[in-house]
Amino acid sequence: MLKQERADFINERLEKLFPKTPIPLDHTDAYTLLVAVLLSAQCTDVRVNQVTPALFKKANTPQKMIKLSIDEIREIIKPCGLSPRKSKAIWELSKILIEEHDGEVPESFEELEKLPGVGHKTASVVMAQSFGHPAFPVDTHIHRLAQIWKLTNGKNVETTERDLKKLFPEDRWNKLHLQIIFYGREFCPARGCDGIRCDLCKELFPNRKTPLKAKK
């Protein structure tokens, strides 16, 4: 198959496998999603969902969050890892939202990426899932699978995002990025598939015999 043919095949197959794509991180609005995505850096969604109920019970708005100290936030989110940095970012971005955005999460890539602890991936998730803007957040599963499926050279996540956006229709980006994540977790995990084991890898590359190792 040519690259575009592989992309079309993947697009069709994942839509059949995962017609529904619930957002993995529990949240109630753009602010709680923003905090949850920030906490998910180098942490599993399962762990984040175990931690956020206690945090959001105390503070589910920027106004409530800044009433907590950074130390209080850090104690609650400690199981997510990187708690000193994440707690400081959560408190500081909450203060900025109040002072510069009337307590609301801005509906803008530029403004989101100015917030402490918020990179392009986090901004992309919020723009896609809270506001419905086309975005293709690239996490470790997507970066790895895009390489295994030969949709990108894997040079970096920026290149992967750009390559995937060229291959898939814009109206599929928001749903498809979740479908790829779900497929990676369920059928093609990093330690369970090296490009020659799962059904999709075998269908895409029936003659592939040598295991692949994706770039980080």
Residue numbers annotated as active site:
121, 139
Burial of 119 (C-beta count, 10 Å sphere; 0-12/13-18/19+) = middle
CA-wise closest residue to 23 among 147, 137, 162? 137
CA distance 25 to 32: 9
> Cα–Cα distances in Å, from 88 out to 57, 81, 109, 211?
19, 13, 21, 42
- To 5 degrees, how large is the angle CA 42–CA 43–CA 45? 135
Q: Find tokens 């090296």 and name the residue.
A: 194
Backbone angles phi, psi at 27, to 5 degrees: -165, 170
Q: Cite the DSSP H helix spans in 102-216.
A: 109-114, 120-129, 140-148, 157-167, 173-186, 199-204
